[in-house]
Amino acid sequence: MEQMKRQRYPGARPSWVLVLSVLAVTMLACSGCAEKPKGESARDARAKRKLKYPVELRKVQSFPVEYTLSAVGSVDAFERVEVVARVAGVLDKVAFEEGNRVTTSQVLAEVDSERYRLAVEAAKANQARAQAGLTEALAALDRRRKLAKKDPGALTEEEIATAVAKVSILTAEVAQTRAALNLSEVDLRESCVRSPVDGVIQTRQAQTGQFVQRGSTITTLLRRDPLLLRFSVPAVEAARIHGGMTVRFTVAGFANPFRAVVSHVAAQADPNSRMVTVTARVDDPGREALKPGSFAEVTVPIDAEVENPVIPQSAVRPSERGFLVFLYENGVAREHVVKLGLRTADGQVEVRSGLNPGDMMILRGSDAVRDGSEVEVEQPRSRHPGSSSTPPSVTSTRRAERASK
């Protein structure tokens, strides 16, 4: 039987040889698999060590920072005055045009002045007649009293009482005619329409020959002295504003700003808007060119001016630990936690702590770097938004938010 098996499998090898061969192949395969990842990770590490992030640098600079409150308002006249007719009649004369500057002594219009002059003459005549009657009555009473004293039975008590009553009646009549004369003189004066204040004629609302009633508007004028600036601020900011503060404002069409001095801060906020109205008197040599009703952008300095670093907001990265800015130190990016102040309208932000003037800040490319990343400095390509070298005053407005919140 053994002979038959050997003849059937003449080339067969022992089974232990086959097992050893399989084990050897498996070990070689596993050894190759283990060494391949090790080689790849080493190459990746070397590549990472050689990777440098391109960045653009900017030297940190300090600028004067003025804390201000911005608001919108309007230029306003001190008051608008309606000049009215105080007597009824026909306008004999209108002596003004729109835009004229008028004074309190200037006659603007005349209303039936001749008729009111004649009324004064009539009142004077009535007053003179009443005065004459009173004088006669007083003389008659004096004669009766002397006669009664000389001859007690010559006059009755009733006759003397009648004379006394007549004097009283005529005395009252004299007073009445005197009052009528005064009223007619007032009407005569008021038939000449004058402005109650110095100002500028805004509108002409009457024409020569027109019949006007007492109280009819003849013209409307503006009292420009003093010229006012009115604006509103949030109620939470109103406590920072007080009388005597100087504010700046700009008006479209004028290159230079104007100045005004706060004269009044409203004691109550508007219940709907929660805004407080502030009134300031325009104190500027160029105020004559301003027109009441013009829109104004107002800037109110609310704190003392300080000098702090001011950088573009694009260089700041928010994180769980706060706001970060990366500085360039010996070819490596180093993160610094900073405390921010107020923002500007053109993309700048004040840095209250964490940076010093002269630090080299990574302006562009900081999004990709981490603390300790190697970086390669590139030349600035172009100006970026918020990268002005001379930022304006840092301002706080109702629309702006404090970055440090």
> Tens digits of per-residue pLDDT, 91-145?
999 999 998 999 998 999 999 999 999 999 999 999 999 999 999 889 888 888 8
Neighbour count for residue 130 (Cβ, 10 Å) = 20
Same-domain status, 103 and 215: yes
CATH number of the domain residue 254 falls in: 2.40.30.170
Same-domain status, 258 and 272: yes
Q: Provide the pLDDT for residue 157.
A: 80
370 token code pair: 């981490």
Q: Provide the pLDDT for residue 155.
A: 75
CATH number of the domain residue 149 falls in: 1.10.287
Q: Which of 223, 242, 269 is the last residue of a domain?
A: 223
Structural domains in the chain (count): 4
Same-domain status, 258 and 329: no
Q: Which residue has the higher pLDDT, 67 or 166?
A: 166
Please determine, for residue 263, whether its predicted confidence score (pLDDT) is greater than 90.
yes
Distance from C-alpha of 256 to C-alpha of 36, rounded to nearest angstrom: 74
CA angle 146, 147, 148 (to 5 degrees): 90
Q: What is the mean pLDDT of the chain?
A: 81
Q: Provide the pLDDT for residue 48.
A: 54
What is the extent of the structural domain holding 150?
A: 113-190
Q: Provide the pLDDT for residue 23.
A: 43
Q: Which residue has the higher pLDDT, 307 or 400?
A: 307
Q: Which residue has the higher pLDDT, 369 or 223?
A: 223
Is 19 within a domain? Answer: no
Across the range 56-70, mean pLDDT stands at 85
Distance from C-alpha of 263 to C-alpha of 206, rounded to nearest angstrom: 36
Band (pLDDT 50/70/90 cuts) for residue 295 is very high
Using CA of residue 112, residue 113, residue 118, residue 119, what is the dihedral sign?
A: positive
Instruction: State yes or no: cis peptide before 392, omega within 30 of 0.
Output: no
Is 24 within a domain? Answer: no
Same-domain status, 95 and 214: yes
Q: Which of 244, 266, 301 is the last residue of a domain?
A: 301
Q: Which of 301, 335, 367 is the last residue of a domain?
A: 301
CA atoms within 13 A on the CB side of 266: 17
CA angle 96, 99, 101 (to 5 degrees): 70
CA atoms within 13 A on the CB side of 174: 16
Q: Give the lowest-confidence range in 129-138, 155-164, 174-183, 251-260.
A: 155-164
Across the range 208-220, mean pLDDT stands at 94
Same-domain status, 147 and 270: no
Of the candidates 175, 180, 192, 184, which has an alpha carbon nearest to the alpha carbon of residue 120? 184
Is 40 within a domain? Answer: no
DSSP-derived secondary structure letter, 132: H
Is 229 within a domain? Answer: yes
Band (pLDDT 50/70/90 cuts) for residue 34 is very low
Helix, strand, coil percentages for the chain (3-state, nearest 5): 30, 35, 35
> Tens digits of per-residue pLDDT, 270-292?
999 999 999 999 988 888 889 99
Q: Provide the pLDDT for residue 150.
A: 81
Are 279 and 229 within 8 A, CB to CB? yes
Backbone φ/ψ region at 129: left (φ over 0), alpha (ψ -120 to 50), beta:
alpha
Same-domain status, 108 and 197: yes
Same-domain status, 332 and 203: no
Q: Provide the pLDDT for residue 267.
A: 92
Same-domain status, 245 and 337: no
Distance from C-alpha of 163 to C-alpha of 171, rounded to nearest angstrom: 12
Q: Which residue has the higher pLDDT, 349 or 393?
A: 349
Is 123 within a domain? Answer: yes
Is 183 within a domain? Answer: yes
Across the range 395-405, mean pLDDT stands at 38
Cα–Cα distances (Å) from 181 to 114, 122, 194, in that order, read 16, 8, 22
128 token code pair: 């003179």
Same-domain status, 106 and 196: yes
Please determine, for residue 9, whether its predicted confidence score (pLDDT) is greater than 70.
no
Same-domain status, 388 and 325: yes
Q: Provide the pLDDT for residue 303.
A: 73
Of the candidates 372, 383, 377, 370, which has an alpha carbon nearest to the alpha carbon of residue 314? 383
Band (pLDDT 50/70/90 cuts) for residue 87 is very high
Is 84 within a domain? Answer: yes
> Tens digits of per-residue pLDDT, 316-361?
989 888 899 999 888 888 899 999 887 776 788 889 889 899 998 8
Please determine, for residue 11, whether its predicted confidence score (pLDDT) is greater than 70.
no
Using CA of residue 6, residue 9, residue 11, residue 16, what is the dihedral sign?
A: negative
Please determine, for residue 16, whether its predicted confidence score (pLDDT) is greater than 60.
no
Is 327 within a domain? Answer: yes
Same-domain status, 356 and 327: yes
CATH number of the domain residue 104 falls in: 2.40.50.100
Same-domain status, 255 and 178: no
